[in-house]
A = this chain, B = another copy of it.
Amino acid sequence: DDDVRHFVRCVGGDAAGVVVSTSATATSSKAADGAGAALDKYNVDWMGKYHGRSRVAVLPKTTDELCAIMSRCHARNLAVVPQGGNTGLVGGGVPAHDEVVVNLGRMNAIVSIDEDAGVSVVEAGVVLEELESAVRARGMTVPLDLGAKGKCQMGGCVSTNAGGLRLLRYGSLRGSVLGLEVVLANGEVLDLLRTLRKDNTGYDLKQLFIGAEGTLGIVTKIAILTPRAPTNVNVALFGLDSFASCVELLKLARGRLGEILSAFEFFDRESLDLVLEQLKGTQDPLAKPCPFYVVVETSGSVKSHDNAKLQAFLKIVKNKRVIVDGVVGKDEKHAFALWTLRERISVALKYAGAVYKYDISLPTARMYNLVTTLRARLAPKFGSGVKVLGYGHLGDGNLHLNISCAEYTDALESAIEPFVYEYTREERGSVSAEHGLGIMKAEEIIYSKDAKAVELMGAMKRALDPRGILNPYKVLPAATRAAALIPM
């Protein structure tokens, strides 16, 4: 139709830039083949949990092209889903219905890498791992690392305020992102692309777009701190008797490893069992099974200093019997294998079947109670076919609670929700520590934010996207979204 022809003009007549359903009524779904199949990769999330029915995906190559696309969508009141690597966990990056998909994957240039200043500028579609490789070659690193690094794109990382494995060391993207270029709902460009470490001239508008999941604007370019890479990395894996011991270990690690502690991750035996079962080449890291495991990573600049600190730490935790057993990665390959056990839990879960994923912030010391409480709640009704797994970023108070099962059922879902959210509210935690809200938790925001805060978010939405065309049905609850719309 007219819009599609316009989009083709927007991307310079490049046929690869517009993917259209060949049937009049798009029927894309997990099972679909034929007409909607070409659009499936844009319509369906990687877990196969959320199925949109968009009839067109547009892939601009430049900011100008995107401006032209958005200008058209704004004028015609067409809803838009900005999409990155489609590795999200809350359905934020796929259409809810028939929104136009704007996929940033072809805006994938690394614009500049400034070694002296330790700052890189990239387009939104650059894959995290590609940026990491590019800056590593210059002795730098990206202050963000996560399981999806091979596929997730920087624009998506910024838009979800991705946390990941290095947050403990480098802090959140709110500090690491120095500047952004954003295309607004009406197709205008907001140029906040500076590479300054400090700038206190007015409100820090870029913060609005970090973590907004594409509901306030489309991030097109990013200036991000890329600090000097540590020259010496050690990885140790510990087996522990109880979650309380994991917390004690964290306290000792903070004190004894000080400035070189760069990751502190935990997982339970149930998680490890699933990895060993689902993933070839993995093996039990310690002689005897333990109920809990912790991966500690140190990163420093002088090998002998790091080793000395780690050895002193090991001595103390052994003497104090905080750990049952432990192993230090003896070389890079071994260290990688230890890390893999933690990092690949999420992949093992996917192989094992359906999975309900929750990403919760809780007071560190009581974090695991949610796992045991939920087990006790589900076991009588659902038996051993439903497994409750706990793992995550213990150093950041972030629990990844996963319920693995054969298939998604209403009975199971209603046994989990809203229980998990109510539990989290009681603890004054967050129902989404790092995954965002997307479509999955848009209504659940009330468990973490009070009514006044949600109302103000509506005001921000109204100010930036008065027609509500940007990633509708996501992040904000329906009532707030409706209130945010300015009547035309």
Q: Which residues of A are interface residues toward B (Cβ below 8 A)? A: 116-118, 160-161, 163, 167, 171-172, 174-175, 188-192, 194-205, 207-208, 210-212, 216, 228, 230-231, 251, 254-260, 299-302, 305, 308-309, 361, 363-365, 393, 396-398, 428-437, 441, 444-445, 448-450, 452-454, 456-457, 459-460, 462-464, 475-476
Contact A208 B198 (CB under 8 A): no
A364 nearest CB neighbor, chain B only: B117
User: Contact partner of A196 among B204, B231, B299, B397, CB < 8 A?
Assistant: B397
Residue from A212, A308, A435, A452 whose CB has the most chain B CB atoms within 10 Å = A452
Contact B460 A203 (CB under 8 A): yes
Contact B198 A453 (CB under 8 A): no
User: Contact partner of A163 among B198, B210, B228, CB < 8 A?
Assistant: B198
User: Cβ of A453: which chain B residues have Cβ within 8 Å of it?
Assistant: 190-192, 202, 205
User: Cβ of A167: which chain B residues have Cβ within 8 Å of it?
Assistant: 197-198
User: Cβ of A448: which chain B residues have Cβ within 8 Å of it?
Assistant: 199, 201-202
User: Contact partner of A433 among B175, B200, B432, B435, CB < 8 A?
Assistant: B200
Given contacts A172-B175, A259-B300, A365-B116, contact A434 B190 (CB under 8 A): no
User: Contact partner of A434 among B200, B256, B432, CB < 8 A?
Assistant: B200
A444 nearest CB neighbor, chain B only: B201
User: Contact partner of A302 among B211, B231, B308, B450, CB < 8 A?
Assistant: B308
Contact A454 B198 (CB under 8 A): no
Question: Given the complex of chains A and B, what is the CA–CA distance between A119 and B334 in angstroms?
Answer: 35
Given contacts A201-B449, A453-B192, contact A258 B460 (CB under 8 A): no
Question: Given the complex of chains A and B, what is the CA–CA distance between A449 and B202 in angstroms?
Answer: 8
Residue from A216, A396, A437, A453 whose CB has the most chain B CB atoms within 10 Å = A453
Contact A301 B258 (CB under 8 A): yes
Contact A203 B211 (CB under 8 A): yes
Question: Given the complex of chains A and B, what is the CA–CA distance between A150 and B472 in angstroms?
Answer: 49
User: Cβ of A203: which chain B residues have Cβ within 8 Å of it?
Assistant: 208, 211-212, 216, 457, 460
Contact A301 B256 (CB under 8 A): yes
User: Cβ of A202: which chain B residues have Cβ within 8 Å of it?
Assistant: 437, 445, 448-449, 453-454, 457, 475-476
Contact B456 A205 (CB under 8 A): yes
A286 vs chain B, min Cβ distance (A): 27
Question: Given the complex of chains A and B, what is the CA–CA distance between A444 and B430 in angstroms?
Answer: 39
A161 vs chain B, min Cβ distance (A): 5
Going nearest first, the 5 A-B pairs with the smallest beta carbon separation are A258-B301, A207-B207, A175-B175, A199-B430, A459-B463
Question: Given the complex of chains A and B, what is the CA–CA distance between A452 and B190 in angstroms?
Answer: 6
A242 vs chain B, min Cβ distance (A): 17
A437 vs chain B, min Cβ distance (A): 6
A186 vs chain B, min Cβ distance (A): 11
User: Cβ of A462: which chain B residues have Cβ within 8 Å of it?
Assistant: 463
User: Contact partner of A175 among B171, B194, B393, B444, CB < 8 A?
Assistant: B171
A297 vs chain B, min Cβ distance (A): 13
A228 vs chain B, min Cβ distance (A): 6
A230 vs chain B, min Cβ distance (A): 7
The 14 sampled A-B contact pairs (Cβ below 8 Å) are A117-B397, A172-B198, A175-B175, A190-B453, A194-B428, A198-B433, A199-B361, A199-B433, A200-B211, A202-B449, A202-B476, A203-B208, A305-B305, A460-B463
User: Contact partner of A201 among B231, B299, B445, CB < 8 A?
Assistant: B445
User: Cβ of A197: which chain B residues have Cβ within 8 Å of it?
Assistant: 167, 361, 396-398
User: Cβ of A299: which chain B residues have Cβ within 8 Å of it?
Assistant: 259
A210 nearest CB neighbor, chain B only: B204
A50 vs chain B, min Cβ distance (A): 18
User: Cβ of A437: which chain B residues have Cβ within 8 Å of it?
Assistant: 200-202
Contact A161 B200 (CB under 8 A): yes
User: Cβ of A161: which chain B residues have Cβ within 8 Å of it?
Assistant: 200, 204
Question: Given the complex of chains A and B, what is the CA–CA distance between A429 and B179 in angstroms?
Answer: 12
Question: Given the complex of chains A and B, what is the CA–CA distance between A456 and B465 in angstroms?
Answer: 12
A479 vs chain B, min Cβ distance (A): 14
A155 vs chain B, min Cβ distance (A): 16
A305 nearest CB neighbor, chain B only: B305
> Given known contacts A172-B198, A201-B444, A259-B260, what 11 new A-B pairs fall within 8 Å (CB)?
A117-B363, A171-B171, A171-B175, A198-B393, A200-B434, A202-B453, A202-B454, A205-B457, A259-B301, A302-B308, A456-B464
